[in-house]
Amino acid sequence: MPAAPDLPPPPRYVPATLLAVLLLRHPLGYVGWLLASVGIVLATTFAAFSEPLVDPFGEGARRGLGRVAKVEATDGRVNGRRVRRVVFEWPASDPRHVGTAYTDATPPQPGAEIPIEWLPGDPPRARPVGMRSAPIPAFVRFVFAFPVLGAGLVVAGAWAGWRRARALRDGAFVHGTLVAAERTLTQINNKRVHKLTYRYVDASGAERELHVRSTQFGPLGATTVLAHVPGTTSVVKLDDLPVVPRLGEDGVFEPPGFGPLAMALLLPTAAAVAWSLAQALVATIG
């Protein structure tokens, strides 16, 4: 039976590196960083080559006639249709201006006159009516949902990690007894996840229950060490921590080794690298 650690009274010191591991190494955080890494690449790339969500050619746009100078096929496709680049001229002022637009519909022939909408400025912006000013339509910007969702999961994982750290800092350590284990429909690495119920007595003498989900557990009646923050519902099963807290000779938590810290920083570093690569890709293509 695991013994509850003999610790000094709270608040206890939690090393910064142990706090980082607890904040970053949570399953929600893992999924969040993966989504953020993929989403950052997609969102950065698509943002540079797609139409804005809000059409800038609104009521202030002026109308006139332009002439198609050249039509070129691109490597892009939208809904299976080839995207074509249309180079056009229009007389926004003197001299005439040259612009580029994109369409996946049947393009006009070179030399044809086409209606143009344009915004005054330096330089002025223009596009043929019914065409795009960017190769990719605005609807592809839905990929921005991936980094936003990823960031939300990272925050949720960090909050769960903060509750773990708070339990180490301020918690009372007690024994919890496994009283129920219910199968769920979820599997992780071909292992069935179970909903576990642990019963324990908190610092005030009240009997309470902790419900967790895990693939690893002992037989009914097995005990484990829980950290319960008095006066709150915050309780942590020490076996579920990403790293087992080590105690020094003075009874204070020791910093984790290099391995757990490196694993904690791996996915955030990957997200930063993904953002840098996306920026470089946009600069190269642009």
Provide φ and ψ at 76, rounded to 5°: -85, 155
Question: What's the pTM?
Answer: 0.72
Residue with tokens 């005990």: 223
**pLDDT value for 6:** 61
**pLDDT value for 154:** 94
Q: Measured between alpha carbons, how far apart are the two ends of the chain, in Å?
A: 63
Residue 204 pLDDT grade (very low, low, confident, very high; cuts 50, 70, 90): confident
Across the range 215-234, mean pLDDT stands at 79
Residue 210 pLDDT > 80, yes or no? Answer: yes
Name the 3-class secondary structure at 147: helix
Is the model more confident about 204 or about 266?
266
DSSP 66-79: EEEEEEEEEEEEET
Gap between the Cα atoms of 286 and 280, Å rounded: 10
Asked which of 5-9, 38-42, 46-50, 244-248 is least confident by mean pLDDT, the reply is 5-9
**pLDDT value for 2:** 46
The strand pairing partners of 56, in sequence order, are: none
Across the range 165-193, mean pLDDT stands at 86
Q: Rounded to whole angstroms, what are the CA distances from 201 to 165, 205, 212, 237, 239? A: 21, 6, 17, 14, 18
**pLDDT value for 1:** 36
**pLDDT value for 63:** 84
